[in-house]
Amino acid sequence: MNKARDTKPHIGIFGRRNNGKSSLINALTGQEIAIVSEVPGTTTDPVKKSLEIDGVGPAILIDTAGIDDTGVLGEKRIAKSKEILKIIDLAILVISHNMFDETEKELISDFRSHEVPFLILHNKSDEVPVGTDLARVIREKYQVPVLDFCATHPSNLEEVASLIRETIPETAYRKRTLVGDLIKPGDVVVLITPIDTEAPEGRMILPQMQVIRDVLDHDGVCVVLKENEVAAHVKKMSPKPVLVITDSQVFPKANAAVPEDILLTSFSIVLARQKGAFEAYLKGTPKIADLTNGDRILILESCTHHVTCDDIGRIKIPRWLREFTGKSLEFDVVAGLTSVQRPITDYALIVQCGGCMITRKQIHQRLKPAIDAGIPVTNYGMMIAFVHGIFDRAIRPFVRGK
Q: What is the DSSP string of 342-380?
A: S-GGG-SEEEE---TTS-HHHHHHHHHHHHHTT--EEEH
Closest CA to 364 of 89, 164, 173: 89
- Tell me the whole-structure pTM to 2 decimals: 0.71
Per-residue pLDDT tens, the chain, 402 aa: give them.
333 345 688 999 999 998 999 889 889 887 654 444 444 444 445 678 888 888 888 899 999 988 988 888 888 888 888 888 988 999 999 999 999 999 999 999 999 998 899 999 999 999 999 999 999 999 999 999 899 999 989 999 999 999 999 999 887 777 788 999 999 999 999 999 987 656 566 667 888 999 999 999 999 999 999 999 999 898 889 999 999 999 998 999 999 999 999 999 999 999 999 887 899 999 999 999 999 999 999 999 876 555 555 688 889 999 999 999 999 999 999 987 788 899 999 999 999 998 877 888 888 888 999 999 999 999 999 999 999 999 999 999 998 655
Q: How many secondary structure helices (H) and strands (E) does the chain include? A: 14, 14
| Inter-residue contact 206 to 356 (CB < 8 Å) | yes
Tell me which fold the domain 276-387 belongs to: Rossmann fold (3.40.50)
| Inter-residue contact 206 to 357 (CB < 8 Å) | yes
The full set of domain ranges for the chain reads 10-172, 180-271, 276-387
CATH number for the region 180-271 comes to: 3.40.50.11420
Domain covering 10-172 assigned CATH 3.40.50.300 in the classification: yes
**What's the CA dihedral at 175, 179, 183, 185 to 10 degrees?**
-60
- Domains 180-271 and 276-387 in one fold: yes
